[in-house]
Chain A
């Protein structure tokens, strides 16, 4: 054999060298190489073509003979000469087939979300909350759950490029050094670093070091969905940057000033938990906190509120002033006096046990007023705490990005380094940021994707995912988490921000691990035994005692002077980050794209939301079809800019106010995010980033189809979600069960099955659930649930095993909103089981309604007969069996379903069986709490409890014995194992009734044009 032999090894080696965007072209490119041609020529890599010519044949046969003689030494192809070293001593704790969990942090908006990551044989597969972490306490939000999909996203930026050509790290370092050397004489006057919000102490130290080297350089920060108003408000109130955090667990009365703390803000997971704890009535409690919400756009906490007031954004400050005035002793005056009066009385009755919270997106004045009100109510130090900011350097980000745009425009910037954030897409549109970027001679971008910013930068350094890199970050209360990687970067060129900033230093190729560890070693925060402290911090996922201590904020400055009277009348626009894909960074995440938005239940699109009354005035109509909801396209004209957007009618939206969510309309993203939604950033300007007056809405006459998973609004007078005010509940705690009593168990000809061993069951507290969607994505991640795409969702073929039903009750203008997680309730008398012709869905002796994928032929009869409609069918081959990276991501304990098979919630049977095996191995019985389903683990509100209902001491058995417990559709004699704890609201009798509007009783709610 010649040395020239083309073999698979060589080809493979060649292909390994090819990575990144050239992936799809590599076969073409390979085809041109001599090796490949040779390879093609020889069907069998080694010797096939020898067989053709006589001389070679002899040789071939000789070799074949030798091969046979040495049978077993070689297989079909020659094995590469690699040393394969088995685990003589396996890594500690690694048992094949058993996952390991590591504590780390995911960064969202710059803040740490403490998580435990499940790792199967070195592959991170699932994200859980870290019980030790103050912002998590074991729970997560939807975005953290979905972050695992970003890690394995095949569209991620993979290679370091310069003008689109592949380069190596050293090329970048030398180019950067050259540019920096040119900057050095002027002290770095042309150097700009643009980052997102940074709480990472090590990154901040690196930047500080760079700024020390280059004193004339500037560091800018920009987060499109940052808490700009809160920052400025704190400055206004206290004269220095201050973080405010709340202890909802101790508040009896909460007033939210457009503060949807369940959807936004770094403390949201913790806040949901604390607040839900004050709303539960389980265990004999008969009091609950009261929640007032003032909203400019309907949000999750507004749907939880006992009283809700809709205001236009321009009215918020006036309202807050009126509230402040009334609290100061003045009589409640103005248009909202009937509302403010009882609220003030309630707040004053709960001095020191109330919270007035201003939303992140409210202007500084509202924040300053809220701080003043809390001080007035004695809440400071009781329920409201102030501390030094968790952010490394809090600055006015709007001013910062504006300055940068100005500097770029006047040619003052010669080297721009952008660390994440995609500012070319997210910067306010009046800055014309992307175009101004082009004036910078050298631009460097470090991002997870090849996005709009990447295409405008010379150097693109692919960013390592949070699960691939060392780092650190602070939580909402300042607690530090050392971020440890779960896996080496999937694409070797990926770098962490620490590594990129290290390129500015004397050690340009230092590892991220060393940067972080050196920082923390030097910090003195890890205790006396540094090594031990480091390991402790990694293990726990928190650096002990790193939370910022609460400080007395000092007397709040007097409320700011009243501004000029706001513009009245006319339409107003409200900007919000998208509830699922955020500011656009998750646009290529299929789980989040297909995750129904909490209130609209829309997927894959953003809309211009307006109230039913406004829509009627504008002549907007929506129509349900079998191919999605079609709606009118409107042109939004605002400050000389215009975009076209599909209209969406949203009950509870303030009149004459249109809410748009930014983050959609990405021009450059991956295969998932391409072509979704419209770009609301195009309307967003730096002087009014969150709302503004002067909007004009023009119906275009075009129609657009949206994919909505629940297009029906009302409950049609059915007792699906059972709710009552607190006094009614106290008078008759079992009101919910009485509304539709369960049929007697004797109502059958057959003897009832006796569940002797375990009997699994679940309880879901509708009082706690805020509809945040964390469980939906957790279920999707745990159970390998595929994404089906907009067209299939529009055809009602989404695959979520767990969905959150949203119902409205009352008038359309200001309805009560309810969220109800709904998944297979594991009926003891399951209607699906009887009708399956091949017995593919059967009952286990522990009461699970099992689905046998192998046996299913897909008649869909079970789905038809399921009254809860929780079964999901693989109409096509929805699971991606091709993309390599997704194979790494899947949960190995759960089957990846193929085409033509029915599937549904299994109560996480893989977790049940795992817990059973562990208990058996440990020689003990199962204990309550051993089994935690994926949805239960993720739930920030702890609304979901799972366990053995035969164990009368289990939490779930006790919850099911609560008077509030009822089974949905139990009157059909399905005997559901999942029961719900009915919702109880705590209204203030002194409050005026909500604005009614047309009743939501419709069977055709969407044809708003009918009036």
Chain B
């Protein structure tokens, strides 16, 4: 990537052409200025009447959230046995859902941090709610590791290293402890990153507030932001630093989550390919979820100007790329099962393909390997209903992937005498649907009370923002 002030004329021409081509599908529709951007986004929170659709969506989410509370109460009252795990399948939908939610949470950090560092402008209009989605997904995920234990009232703090009179520490060799650190770090950094990114917008909302109460609340959240050059300087430094901190987390969290399996000796878990393949899978799932959310959002809130086809297409491309990595992972699992000549591995992969859970496996291949390859076709990639459908297909596929990894590996491991079967109970499902309720509830609250798109960052990508500084790197690049 070059920032040379005066590039070679040919290069400059090429760059210009590329830019023009990109501009055909811009990251912000023409005709907007600073005021209109600010007005349009802040109005969602401040002035527009809460639409009926919001109430419906929030109501559904809130109802499902109650299901989660019922599920938790039932679980605490009766025991983890209300869910489906057994011996040999000690983990079931609890950990499947945990990994699924954590995976979904990855898109947020990736979009906010890595794409920021890579100076991908198009991230701007989706990063805010992708980050929000991350936080909510992590909140949903965090529910499982605690409540899937036999004694959650102890697990909630015994997993942390805290000084105690018994001189007992957690077992630092256990990947579950690594998980505790990885997930809690991730949640903390994501929350900070999100909050810091919100500060200038809180100030905007404070300034535009129509009533005292919102002025006070947003004012407190804005933490005295006045938009001075010094504030902006500190802000940019902090934001970049956090982006730098968050970047390794994108890789580390799901790497650590994959260690839960890779460190175990269960055939189907014990594989070195797990970390990269899990990370790719997480980004894959995360982008699918961003699509699932932003397609209706831009539709209902008329944000097509800000979330343009270019965003959708880019996300489709990321899905395609990560989908291919995931497919490679599946291929390598099968290859290594044969190449290692390990009878247990070999049996495992054959059992996945032909055993009692074969439907799950082949549905997974359909969702995660075959379906994303249709995104090679530009017409499909830019077809909004198709993308919406694909985003669901991928989410289902990634859920199936975790089902296949966890259940089919455990249900037939080393000693055939202990083989068994697993099926989630209705309480497994109510907990899962309940976490979806939590997610939806939080998301609707977010849409109602916070700017879903970063106002100030959107302003920086307006053509108007470029004019005073024609050579500003942000406006001029995006390609080599």
Residues of A within 8 A of B (CB): 624-627, 710-712, 714-718, 720, 792, 795-797, 803, 805-807, 820, 822, 831, 834-839, 855-861, 863-865, 867-869, 871-877, 899-902, 968-969, 972, 1003-1004
Output the nearest chain B residue to A877 by Cβ-Cβ distance.
Answer: B79
CA distance A838 to B343 in the complex (A): 33
Q: Which of B149, B416, B420 makes the CB contact (< 8 A) with A715?
A: B416
29 interchain pairs (CB within 8 A)?
A624-B421, A625-B423, A626-B420, A720-B416, A795-B86, A796-B87, A805-B417, A806-B417, A834-B173, A837-B177, A856-B151, A859-B150, A860-B150, A864-B264, A864-B410, A868-B415, A873-B87, A874-B150, A875-B79, A875-B81, A875-B150, A876-B79, A899-B151, A900-B149, A900-B151, A901-B150, A968-B415, A969-B415, A1004-B355
Q: Tell me the chain B residues, 152-194 only, with Cβ under 8 Å from chain A.
A: 152, 154-155, 158-159, 168-171, 173-177, 180
Output the nearest chain B residue to A872 by Cβ-Cβ distance.
Answer: B87
Residues of B within 8 A of A (CB): 78-81, 84-91, 148-152, 154-155, 158-159, 168-171, 173-177, 180, 260, 263-266, 343, 347, 351, 354-356, 410, 412-423
For B79, the chain A residues whose CB sits under 8 A away are 874-877, 899-900
Given contacts A837-B171, A900-B79, A864 and B90 within 8 Å (CB-CB): yes
For B410, the chain A residues whose CB sits under 8 A away are 864
Closest chain-B Cβ to A719's Cβ sits at a distance in Å of: 10
Do B416 and A716 touch (CB < 8 A)?
yes
Q: Which of B151, B169, B356 makes the CB contact (< 8 A) with A858?
A: B151
Do A627 and B414 touch (CB < 8 A)?
no
Give the number of residue pairs across the A-B interface with Cβ within 8 Å. 177
Q: Please name the 8 residue pairs, one residue from A and one from B, whose CB atoms are nearest each other, closest first.
A: A858-B150, A900-B150, A875-B81, A860-B90, A869-B418, A805-B417, A626-B423, A837-B176
For A899, the chain B residues whose CB sits under 8 A away are 79, 150-151
Closest chain-A Cβ to B80's Cβ sits at a distance in Å of: 6
Output the nearest chain B residue to A720 by Cβ-Cβ distance.
Answer: B415
For B173, the chain A residues whose CB sits under 8 A away are 834-835
List 13 additional A-B contacts (Cβ < 8 Å) besides A796-B420, A859-B176.
Answer: A716-B347, A796-B87, A806-B417, A837-B180, A857-B154, A860-B91, A861-B176, A864-B264, A867-B415, A875-B79, A876-B78, A900-B150, A969-B414
Do B87 and A835 touch (CB < 8 A)?
no
Do B176 and A626 touch (CB < 8 A)?
no
Q: Which of B81, B91, B170, B264 makes the CB contact (< 8 A) with A838?
A: B170
Output the nearest chain B residue to A854 by Cβ-Cβ distance.
Answer: B154
CA distance A968 to B415 in the complex (A): 9
CA distance A711 to B417 in the complex (A): 7
CA distance A713 to B260 in the complex (A): 31
Closest chain-A Cβ to B364's Cβ sits at a distance in Å of: 19
Given contacts A717-B343, A839-B168, A839-B169, A1004 and B356 within 8 Å (CB-CB): yes
Output the nearest chain A residue to B419 by Cβ-Cβ distance.
Answer: A712
Do B265 and A838 touch (CB < 8 A)?
no
Output the nearest chain B residue to A867 by Cβ-Cβ distance.
Answer: B414
Q: Which of B154, B356, B416 makes the CB contact (< 8 A) with A624?
A: B356
Do B417 and A710 touch (CB < 8 A)?
yes
CA distance A867 to B348 in the complex (A): 14
CA distance A872 to B263 in the complex (A): 21
CA distance A449 to B173 in the complex (A): 54
Do A857 and B158 touch (CB < 8 A)?
yes
Interface centre among B150, B168, B347 (most CB of A within 10 A): B150
Q: Which of A838, A865, A876, A877 makes the CB contact (< 8 A) with B158?
A: A838
Do B265 and A867 touch (CB < 8 A)?
yes
Output the nearest chain A residue to B169 by Cβ-Cβ distance.
Answer: A839
Do A857 and B150 touch (CB < 8 A)?
yes
Do B90 and A863 touch (CB < 8 A)?
yes
Q: Which of B78, B154, B174 makes the CB contact (< 8 A) with A834?
A: B174
Do A838 and B171 touch (CB < 8 A)?
yes
Given contacts A856-B151, A900-B149, A972 and B265 within 8 Å (CB-CB): yes
Do A839 and B151 touch (CB < 8 A)?
no
Closest chain-B Cβ to A763's Cβ sits at a distance in Å of: 19
For A716, the chain B residues whose CB sits under 8 A away are 347, 416
Do A900 and B80 touch (CB < 8 A)?
yes
For B413, the chain A residues whose CB sits under 8 A away are 867, 869
CA distance A47 to B130 in the complex (A): 69
Output the nearest chain A residue to B86 by Cβ-Cβ distance.
Answer: A796
CA distance A1003 to B420 in the complex (A): 12
For A876, the chain B residues whose CB sits under 8 A away are 78-79, 81
Given contacts A625-B423, A627-B423, A718 and B416 within 8 Å (CB-CB): yes
For B88, the chain A residues whose CB sits under 8 A away are 796, 863-864, 869
CA distance A865 to B343 in the complex (A): 18
For B414, the chain A residues whose CB sits under 8 A away are 718, 867-869, 969, 972
CA distance A4 to B148 in the complex (A): 56
For A972, the chain B residues whose CB sits under 8 A away are 265, 414
Closest chain-A Cβ to B148's Cβ sits at a distance in Å of: 8
Output the nearest chain B residue to A721 by Cβ-Cβ distance.
Answer: B417
CA distance A575 to B417 in the complex (A): 28
CA distance A750 to B263 in the complex (A): 17
Closest chain-B Cβ to A657's Cβ sits at a distance in Å of: 27
Output the nearest chain A residue to B90 by Cβ-Cβ distance.
Answer: A860
For A806, the chain B residues whose CB sits under 8 A away are 417
For B417, the chain A residues whose CB sits under 8 A away are 710, 712, 720, 803, 805-807, 820, 822
Closest chain-B Cβ to A914's Cβ sits at a distance in Å of: 26
Closest chain-A Cβ to B6's Cβ sits at a distance in Å of: 57
Do A836 and B86 touch (CB < 8 A)?
no
Given contacts A864-B266, A873-B150, A835 and B418 within 8 Å (CB-CB): no
For A712, the chain B residues whose CB sits under 8 A away are 416-417, 419
Do B264 and A831 touch (CB < 8 A)?
yes
CA distance A867 to B148 in the complex (A): 22
For A718, the chain B residues whose CB sits under 8 A away are 343, 414-416
For A715, the chain B residues whose CB sits under 8 A away are 416
Closest chain-A Cβ to B191's Cβ sits at a distance in Å of: 24
For A865, the chain B residues whose CB sits under 8 A away are 264-266
For A717, the chain B residues whose CB sits under 8 A away are 343
Interface centre among A807, A859, A867 (most CB of B within 10 A): A859
For B151, the chain A residues whose CB sits under 8 A away are 856-858, 899-901
Interface centre among B88, B263, B356, B414 (most CB of A within 10 A): B414
Closest chain-B Cβ to A51's Cβ sits at a distance in Å of: 37
For A797, the chain B residues whose CB sits under 8 A away are 81, 86-87
CA distance A460 to B296 in the complex (A): 76
Closest chain-A Cβ to B183's Cβ sits at a distance in Å of: 13
Output the nearest chain A residue to B146 by Cβ-Cβ distance.
Answer: A857
CA distance A715 to B416 in the complex (A): 6
Do A857 and B175 touch (CB < 8 A)?
no
Output the nearest chain A residue to B171 by Cβ-Cβ distance.
Answer: A839
For B354, the chain A residues whose CB sits under 8 A away are 1003
Do A836 and B174 touch (CB < 8 A)?
yes
Given contacts A969-B415, A1003-B355, A835 and B90 within 8 Å (CB-CB): no
Do B176 and A835 touch (CB < 8 A)?
yes
For A805, the chain B residues whose CB sits under 8 A away are 415, 417
Closest chain-B Cβ to A126's Cβ sits at a distance in Å of: 26
Closest chain-B Cβ to A363's Cβ sits at a distance in Å of: 37
Closest chain-A Cβ to B216's Cβ sits at a distance in Å of: 43
Do A626 and B265 touch (CB < 8 A)?
no
CA distance A860 to B419 in the complex (A): 16
Closest chain-A Cβ to B453's Cβ sits at a distance in Å of: 40
Do B415 and A869 touch (CB < 8 A)?
yes
Closest chain-A Cβ to B409's Cβ sits at a distance in Å of: 9
For A831, the chain B residues whose CB sits under 8 A away are 264-265
Do A860 and B85 touch (CB < 8 A)?
yes
Output the nearest chain B residue to A716 by Cβ-Cβ distance.
Answer: B416
Closest chain-B Cβ to A715's Cβ sits at a distance in Å of: 6
For B177, the chain A residues whose CB sits under 8 A away are 837
CA distance A876 to B415 in the complex (A): 25
Closest chain-B Cβ to A858's Cβ sits at a distance in Å of: 2
Closest chain-B Cβ to A753's Cβ sits at a distance in Å of: 15
For B421, the chain A residues whose CB sits under 8 A away are 624-626, 796
CA distance A820 to B415 in the complex (A): 11
